[in-house]
Amino acid sequence: MYEKIKDIREMNDLTQREMAAILNVTRSTYAGWENGDPISLLKLNDFCNYFNYSLDYICGLTKTKQYDKADKEIDLYVLGNNLNKIRTANDDTQEFISDIMQVDQSNYSKYELGKSLIRVYPLIEFAKHYKVSLDYLCGKTKNMEVK
């Protein structure tokens, strides 16, 4: 993921300082993301929106780079509802999926309630386990399947 962020920035002839200004963070924070520091889901979404890339592509779930109407904000309640809907449709417990995602069950419960922002890597693990699109989970597309 971090190499893609850097490659996309460089392909668009932007410096780290320019990209940091676009994302409203310091250059050192942005540089850290390119070097493997965790990026928040909201900032990753801002990056995707700016370049019109899918979260699925940036996170390595698909080779399809772009899609229409990528400029959507993430609603934590929509995300939480989608997590709950998919988990319960598969008759899985919160404890089961929190183990897969390597998060505490109490934190996972907050994600489903829309009370806490999920970190990117646990969300990727959820998407991989259920074979669903990150963009769908985040309410950016109606298509549940990863293309």
Kindly report the average pLDDT of the chain as a whole number.
92
Report the share of the chain in percent with pLDDT over 90. Answer: 82
What integer pLDDT is reported at residue 70 of this predicted model?
Answer: 54
What integer pLDDT is reported at residue 66 of this predicted model?
Answer: 65
Query: pLDDT tens, 122-146?
Result: 999 999 999 999 999 999 887 777 7
What integer pLDDT is reported at residue 129 of this predicted model?
Answer: 96
Per-residue burial over 29-43, b if 16 or more Cβ lie within 10 Å, else e, is ebbebbeeeebebeb
- CATH numbers and ranges of domains, the chain: 2-58 (1.10.260.40), 76-137 (1.10.260.40)
Mean pLDDT of 19-29: 97
Contact status, residue 147 vs residue 64, Cβ threshold 8 Å: yes
Above 70 in pLDDT, residue 71? no
Residue type at position 33: W
In 3D space, the residue among 142, 79, 139, 135 whose CA is nearest the CA of residue 112 turns out to be 79
What integer pLDDT is reported at residue 63 of this predicted model?
Answer: 78
Banded pLDDT at 2 (limits 50, 70, 90): confident
Query: pLDDT tens, 111-122?
Result: 999 999 999 999
In 3D space, the residue among 134, 145, 137 whose CA is nearest the CA of residue 1 turns out to be 134
In 3D space, the residue among 81, 61, 70 whose CA is nearest the CA of residue 127 turns out to be 61
